[in-house]
């Protein structure tokens, strides 16, 4: 067991592609606010998920810098081996939007499946039937849950999930461009595209502008997260807001002032649909 008494360091461990994203920035803002209030410092470490020695890297880091606790966003928050290492050395863990149950962690949760269901149902309510979906990384719990929600909404509405309209993305702008090029070459065009994060949606916007396609006149587009990008791109994105800064704040607060009761180890956050200019009723 590593001695942590007196530590004022909180670790924020993430995967390298997350660094620089709007999601990362908003979560980090919340973490920093909680740390500032409590007089703690934030230690940020990004890992290459292709590396086979992440547990060893983390053990080495903790030995050098004993931590009050660690905040893990997806997909690290669902890596069983990583959770076992942190539990074995006695470091408390707060997970942001986990997909799996752990039992030994503090969890900040959002119902990604329900959020994606609600956004898909909104598009269906506008009359859209050929709704494409840009997926996130295959090993990412948030991405899995959002795809489930999309499929569920389509199924309940009696609409087919068309394989060629469900394309792979990686939660970044470049993969959004690749997805946009693929989807916007399909004839007929999908009447709406739901990208399961805002950065990929912005990639689709870039392709549409290059091809001379109009949003939402030629197709509607929705993202997910309500990151700053959603409000700075043109047209502004319809999206699903998760309060990422609040989730970061609550995750750090779990570690700074941990609840005593087991039933208080999980906190759920609501989502909101944010309707902007990128979606409109389908045009026949």
CATH number, domain at 86?
3.40.50.2300
**Is the same domain home to 67 and 156?**
no
**Is the same domain home to 233 and 249?**
no
**Is the same domain home to 22 and 106?**
yes
**Is the same domain home to 237 and 182?**
yes
Task: Judge whether 276 lies within some domain.
Answer: no
Question: What is the mean pLDDT, run by run of 10 residues, along the chain of 284 residues?
Answer: 62 84 88 96 89 82 87 90 88 91 87 97 98 94 95 98 97 97 97 98 98 98 95 97 94 92 86 98 88
**In the prediction, which pLDDT does 263 show?**
80
Task: Judge whether 43 lies within some domain.
Answer: yes
State phi, psi for 276 to the nearest 5 degrees: -130, -155
Residue 187's CB is within 10 A of a number of other CB atoms, namely: 5
**Is the same domain home to 178 and 94?**
no
DSSP 225: B
**Is the same domain home to 101 and 215?**
no
Integer Cα distance of 220 and 212 in angstroms: 14
Are 193 and 186 in contact by the 8 Å Cβ rule? The answer is no
Are 104 and 128 in contact by the 8 Å Cβ rule? The answer is no
The total number of structural domains in the chain stands at 2
Integer Cα distance of 245 and 178 in angstroms: 29
Integer Cα distance of 19 and 6 in angstroms: 29
Distance of CA 156 to the CA centre of its chain: 25
**Is the same domain home to 133 and 222?**
yes
**Is the same domain home to 106 and 173?**
no
Domain that includes residue 45, residue range: 9-111+243-269
Task: Judge whether 38 lies within some domain.
Answer: yes
Task: Judge whether 3 lies within some domain.
Answer: no
Q: Which two tokens stand for residue 238?
A: 């319809």
């Amino acid at each position: 067991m590593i001695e942590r008494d007196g530590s004022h360091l909180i670790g924020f461990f993430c995967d390298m592609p997350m660094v620089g994203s709007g999601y990362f920035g908003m979560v980090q803002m919340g973490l920093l606010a909680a740390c500032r209030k409590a007089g703690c410092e934030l230690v940020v470490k990004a890992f290459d998920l292709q590396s086979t020695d992440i547990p060893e890297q983390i053990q080495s880091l903790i030995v050098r810098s004993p931590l009050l606790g660690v905040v893990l966003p997806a997909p690290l928050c669902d890596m069983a081996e990583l959770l076992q290492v942190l539990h074995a050395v006695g470091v408390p863990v707060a997970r942001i939007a986990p997909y799996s149950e752990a039992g030994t962690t503090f969890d900040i949760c959002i119902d990604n499946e329900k959020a994606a269901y609600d956004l898909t149902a909104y598009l269906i309510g506008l009359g859209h039937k050929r709704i494409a979906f840009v997926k996130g990384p295959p090993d990412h719990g948030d991405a899995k849950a959002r795809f489930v929600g999309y499929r569920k909404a389509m199924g309940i509405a009696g609409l087919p999930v068309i394989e060629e309209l469900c394309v792979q993305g990686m939660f970044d702008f470049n993969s959004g461009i690749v997805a946009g090029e693929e989807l916007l070459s399909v004839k007929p065009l999908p009447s709406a595209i739901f990208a399961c994060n805002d950065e990929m949606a912005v990639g689709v916007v870039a392709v549409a502008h290059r091809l001379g396609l109009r949003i939402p006149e030629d197709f509607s587009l929705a993202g997910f997260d309500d990151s700053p990008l959603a409000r700075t791109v043109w047209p502004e994105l319809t999206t699903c807001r998760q309060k990422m800064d609040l989730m970061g704040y609550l995750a750090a607060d779990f570690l700074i002032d941990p609840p005593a009761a087991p039933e208080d180890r999980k906190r759920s956050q609501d989502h909101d649909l944010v309707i902007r200019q990128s979606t409109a009723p389908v045009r026949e």
